[in-house]
Amino acid sequence: MVGCCVPAGEDGPWRGLDARSETSYSSCMRITKLEAWPVTMALAEPYAIAYESVEQTTNVFLRLETDERFVGYGCAAPDLVITGETPESVRAGLYDVAAPALQGADPLRIRLHHHLLRPVLRDQPAAFAAVDMALHDLLGKACGQPLWRILGGFRDCIETSVTIGILPVADTVARARDWVGRGFGCLKLKGGRSVDADVERVRKVREAVGPRVEIRFDANQGYTVPQARDFVARTRQARIAILEQPTPRAEPEDLGVLAREVPMPVMADESLMGLRDAFRLATQDLVDMVNVKLMKVGGLVEAGHINAVARAAGYELMVGCMDESALAIAAGLHFALAHANVAFADLDGHLGLRDDPAAGAVLLRAGILYPTGAPGLGFDLA
């Protein structure tokens, strides 16, 4: 019997399951070592959003060694405000929880590892995402295929937006012109601190870049419903393509009010932290589309579950990111390339990171993201 297991003798989700059990096939790859280390990267250009200013980010890189030639890599981008994690808590979760569970285990049994680790890393989605990435990286390498092909292979490249933080009007326009000059056809403007200032910046950017460039706007929970209505009414001529998370995460019904009233698509971001949130948003029809970030939801497997809910609800999906190394961006890219329901990408979190150990893990040409073509996530850390 293929995949038989030896009862682990424990209660809960662990009962009767053991990822280290023997299988019927003679040769089985095993995980021999887990290593995790933090890397702090400065941003070439610090930026501001509705609730914080960011000058640097710390990612935690993960390395899974096996008893064969394959090594899998993952990356966590913890954010205390969004994921509730710190680099220290991520490393603790990886060493104290993931390492004992994965030691000696078959890395290709990804769904089993997901089932066993999800309950105990539920409050550490970025740490869980790093494990999920590294296991998928090993799967691709063992198969000799880029991950996007294994996951579905729908497309081989995708356009990404590029984000402009909250800046004075003149600086915002200058950044917009610069990005468009580099070939980007989609801009995401941050706001949420002042409706008047946001309206002026959106209008001026549209005047500067012309009608063909797509503009998205992200208020990062900064508006009330009346403020969002006012913003939409005053920027209608600017033809904003997406209004992302205009209202607070704690009040999801406000998203529903706006989705029913305003003439532009309303997207959930911070209001979507996992599968349960996706189900609630869909069953109550609170939004028009959703933004899935691997760091928020816990990796590619969970993103796939959310995508299924979104598709059932008729929602298009955007794959977004945090301030992430190109390695984590690669994981989001492979997911986006694999699934037909992913209509948008906002995978620019690696741009401007100084001394990124995974620089080159994705290829960017005139605003279009491509995988490297190598197996797995397509990149090996030195």
> CB neighbours (10 Å) of residue 91?
18
Q: Average pLDDT of the chain?
A: 93
- Strands, DSSP E only, in 207-269? 214-218, 242-244, 266-268
Q: What is the pLDDT of residues 47-80, one digit of tens each?
A: 888 777 889 999 999 999 999 999 999 999 999 9
Helix (H) or strand (E) holding 229: helix 225-234
Q: Is the pLDDT of residue 233 over 80?
A: yes
17: confidence class by pLDDT, cuts 50, 70, 90: low
* Rounded CA separation 123/118 (Å): 9
Q: Is the pLDDT of residue 8 over 50?
A: no
Q: Is the pLDDT of residue 14 over 70?
A: no
What domains can be seen in the chain, in order of their start residue?
A: 28-144 (3.30.390.10), 149-371 (3.20.20.120)
* Rounded CA separation 322/163 (Å): 11
3: confidence class by pLDDT, cuts 50, 70, 90: very low
Q: What is the pLDDT of residues 84-115, one digit of tens each?
A: 999 999 999 999 999 999 999 999 999 999 99
Of the two residues 25 and 166, the one the predictor is more confident about is: 166
The confidence score (pLDDT) of residue 46 equals: 83
Distance of CA 26 to the CA centre of its chain: 37
Q: Which of 57, 64, 56, 61 is nearest to 38 (CA)?
A: 61
The confidence score (pLDDT) of residue 156 equals: 97
